[in-house]
Structure 1
Amino acid sequence: MTGRRLEGAERARLVPLILIVSLFFLWGMANNLNDVLIAQFRKAFSLGDLQSGLVQSAFYLGYFLLALPAAMFMRRFGYRVAVMLGLALYGLGALLFFPAAEVRLYSAFLGALFVIAAGLAFLETSANPLMLVMGEPEGAARRLNLAQAFNPLGSITGVIVGRQFIFSAAEPDAKQLAAMPPPQLDALHAAQAHAVQGPYLVIGLFVLVWGGLIALTRFPTAASDHAASEQGTMADVRALLARPRYLFGVLAQFFYVGAQVGVWSFLIRYAEREVGSPERAAAGYLIISLVVFMAGRFVGSALMGRVSPARLTALFGAINVGLCLVGVLAPGMAGLIALVAASFFMSVMYPTIFALSVEGLGPLTKIGASFLVMAIIGGAVLTAAMGWISDRASIAAAMAVPALAFAVVAAFALTAGRRTAAAGLLAEATP
């Protein structure tokens, strides 16, 4: 009888754990479907690279504006309710793709993406700490690492879904498009806009069903309790502004996210322009990049057992500066391979920058973490900058932007590592 009770208790903990781990997969898929949408909307609306880059701008603006409200909502209503609201917004935004395709307005698509991003802001703000409280404290780190491993898997799935169900098998080239009569061209653009309806309708319905499952599932008490935390006051903000290392960390996170999003968003464009790859083949390079990124996450974690995270991140940042410059100076297959390889060295940057930035913040950690989440607005700003450069020069020249961004990451990691080492020596010297 006791064995059955233990088995039932284990099952009761496992089901909510699986439901929350799946969220990391879902927002990874949403993030990297954007890379496909950029290419698709460029065709459907005859956009330049700057205009198509607004896909990421709308998306990351949603993150930026909703990060702090999400944190306040979570403190007021608890982790689980914040997750449900996040899924509701995610599902609603995906469903809005259907009417957006019917009216064929680019602004309508950008609005739908903003709603999705608002939902993901709630999910990312609540799911990470929720994983930490769902079980025994000694297993918290292992649970969170397991959940994070599903994020790049979702990213890969998003690109595959876009490649198979959004991109068409045969795309007319520039000469064929120029020769098309206006009615035929309009029909082609309509078909390209409507191609997103089916995949996003399925995603929206799936996400809403998943939210319903979370609503019906019994979660541990800690998941529903109001998050006990210090309130973010102006005094806290002033205290953070007096910490140069933290401010440099926020800046580094801004540039890192901008570099990652920029490279991935324009990788398909780079393969098409500089290598002459067909659209579907070009999307394959993005899939390889995501696989390489996932591999880098595991290899980087293993290396951190021998090399300090700060030094490893500084080294990886310097390598990525070089790889992006290859993309600038050697456009073609060499540049494309270099940009794909850069994904391996990106993998450790986000969590390491985050950890080094909040190190030693104590009671300021939660509000400090909120601003680090808001720093992902770099994905909007730097992608738009790359689009502007691409429209006026070339997509290869635009890769100078992530090269600069990775230099900022390397500089932060170097300075943070020196301060951490100095603090350690001081602690050893103190009796």
Structure 2
Amino acid sequence: MNTSSMPLAPATGEQRATLLFQLCIGVYFLGGFLNSLVGLLVPRLRMIEGLNHTRSLLVQFAFHSSYLLFAVPITVLVVKFGYMRSIAAGLVVIALGCGLLAASLGSLGYMTVLLALLAIAGGVTFLQIAANIVVPVVEPARRAVSRLTLLQGFNSLGTVLASLAGSALLLGTGRQRFGDLADHIRVVLPFLAVALVALVLAAAFICQRDLLRASSAPRRVPLSGIVGVLSNRRLLAGGGAMFAYVGAEVTIGTLLVEYLAMPDILDVSPVAAGQLVGLYWTGALVGRLVGARYLTRYGAPTMLLGCAIAAVALVAIAIGLQGLLAATALLAVGLCNAIMYPTIFALSLPDDHSTATYASMLLCMVVVGGAIIPLLTGVVADAVGLTMSFILPGACYIIIAAFAWWRHRTWDL
């Protein structure tokens, strides 16, 4: 009798892994879509609402600073309530934040916009900490990396589609204030759509909250053990590289619209420039799909080093030249970015994966680079001009190259 029931266990485990992967597709896609929409808010505030670079880039500061502010308490909640409930909670917070943002863009004012973005990013922090770990928990080790890379591809697909659809809605308008009703509806529509999808996904995760076995729950670690995890040399070095990567990617993706619209670059409308930014995110999508194959051939540190060096060269071309060549170079940085997040994440983790939740917490906290680097770049842009300000994200890729070189020397072949 036992032999007849034994074959059912692997099938049940496979069904569990497949269902969880399908649920996570929606989470990763939504995250990419939302991140791109937030990026499009910056050129709207800058080019249509008349704010300077520094004030408009406070959008990214508010959105990404929550990773630092909320990572520790959210990690405590993830450990207490588990992955599935935490992901559902994050999606509900995102929906509420999008609703507040829609109201803020209408009449509540700029500071409420920043508060709403902070709330949305708090929800995203739940997803960053829990969803990055939940797939490897149920997947066989041989398949976990490929499925994570594929999920990152869906994240990139979300950014591409948001760039194409969101540009027409957020940037396709005259120089009107937020008070205009028709303009307000155009701007808030994509955020309301995100809120609706987030609530549907949250309901799905709640319905499947018992999908993971009790043995898959995150492990509580004493304070002394957490200090040991967070002081790991590899994790700290990788945290610095992740800080630089997110800062550089967000900065370039956010400022590309204005850069492409400049008379000495492409001299196109904000809508056309916003749609061209889709090429930047398409590069990340294609690069992740192709890079997964070559990562196994050449090794993660080597691929990361090559991409970082190429990114430095492309940013230098964008700074030093003009016209189509400069625009193409800066858009091509998206291709270099493709493998950086998953590769830096993997190269940063300590050998003991039983404490991965806490390592993920630190790597989530350093995403605050997406708040600090764009804001500093905005200050530089107001002082010396937009083009020269790209020196700062270019320097970030030098930091990534240094980390890749160090890991190359210590890589266990």
Q: TM-score, length-normalised on structure 2? A: 0.89
Matched, 1:272 2:261: yes
Q: Are 1:45 and 2:35 counterparts?
A: no
The residue number in structure 1 matching 2:221 is 231
User: Residue in 1 aligned with 2:248?
Assistant: 259
Q: CA 1:187/1:322 → structure 2, altered by over 3 Å: closer, same or farther? A: closer
Counterpart position of 2:381: 390
Aligned ranges 1:101-140 → 2 under 5 Å:
101-134=105-138, 139-140=143-144
Q: How does 1:192-207 map to 2 (within 5 A)?
A: 192-207=183-198
Q: Which amino acid aligns with 1:145?
A: T
Q: Deviations over 1:291-344 (max 9, x none)?
A: 111111122222223212112211211111111111111133222111111111
Query: Which residue in the other structure is 2:207 paired with?
Result: 216
Give the residue type in structure 2 aligned to 1:229.
R
The Cα of 1:40 is off from its aligned counterpart by: 1.4
Q: Which residue of 2 aligns with 1:405?
A: 396
Residues 1:373 and 2:378 aligned together? no
Q: Distance in 1 between matches of 2:229 and 2:106?
A: 50
Shift in Å at residue 240 of structure 1?
Answer: 4.0
CA positional deviation for 1:226: 7.3
Q: Where does structure 2 lack aligned partners over 5 or more consecutive residues?
A: none
Contact kept in structure 1, 2:78 and 2:218, CA below 8 Å? no
Match for residue 153 of structure 2 among 140, 149, 153: 149
Given the superposition, is the C-alpha separation of residues 240 and 96 from structure 1 closer, same or farther in structure 2, using an over 3 Å criterion? closer
Counterparts in 2 of 1:410 and 1:99: CA distance versus 1, 3 Å: same
| Secondary structure class of the residue paired with 2:131 | helix
Distance 1:401 1:23, change over 3 A: same
TM-score, length of structure 1 as denominator length: 0.86
Identity %: 27
Equivalent position SS for 2:298: coil
CA distance in 1, matches of 2:33, 2:116: 16
Cα drift, residue 99 of structure 1: 1.7
Match of 2:411 in 1: 420
Q: CA deviation at 1:244?
A: 3.8
Correspondence for 1:309: 300
How far does residue 156 in structure 1 lie from its aligned partner after superposition?
Answer: 1.1
Let me know the Cα RMSD of the aligned residues. Answer: 2.8
2-structure distance, mates of 1:244, 1:399: 30
Compare 391-400 and 200-209 and name the one that shifted more. 200-209
Question: Which protein shows a greater Rg?
Answer: 1
CA distance, structure 2, for counterparts of residue 188 and residue 148 of structure 1: 37
Equivalence for 1:282: 273
Of stretches 328-337 and 252-261 in structure 1, the one that deviates more from structure 2 is 328-337
Q: Residue type of the partner of 1:352? A: T
For 1:92-114, what per-residue CA distance to the aligned partner results, in whole angstroms no more than 9, with x for missing partners?
Answer: 01111232123251111111111
CA contact (8 A) 2:234 2:349 kept: no
Tell me, yes or no, if the aligned pair for 1:79 and 1:225 is still in contact at 8 Å. no
Please say if 1:246 is aligned against 2:250. Answer: no
Tell whether 2:83 aligns with 1:79: yes
Write the distance in 2 (CA, Å) between the matches of 1:415 and 1:13: 35
Q: In structure 2, what residue type is equivalent to 1:125?
A: I
Structure 1: 5+ residue stretches without partners:
173-184, 425-431
Please say if residues 27 and 201 of structure 2, whose CA atoms lie closer than 8 Å, have aligned partners that are also in contact: no
Aligned to 2:282: 291
Question: Which SS does the other structure have where 2:411 is aligned?
Answer: helix
Kept in 1, the 8 Å contact 2:133–2:356? The answer is no
The alignment status of 1:341 with 2:345, answered yes or no, reads no
Q: How many residues align?
A: 405
Q: Which amino acid aligns with 1:419?
A: T
Q: SS of 1:96's equivalent?
A: helix
Q: CA deviation at 1:148?
A: 2.5
Give the aligned residue type for 1:288: L
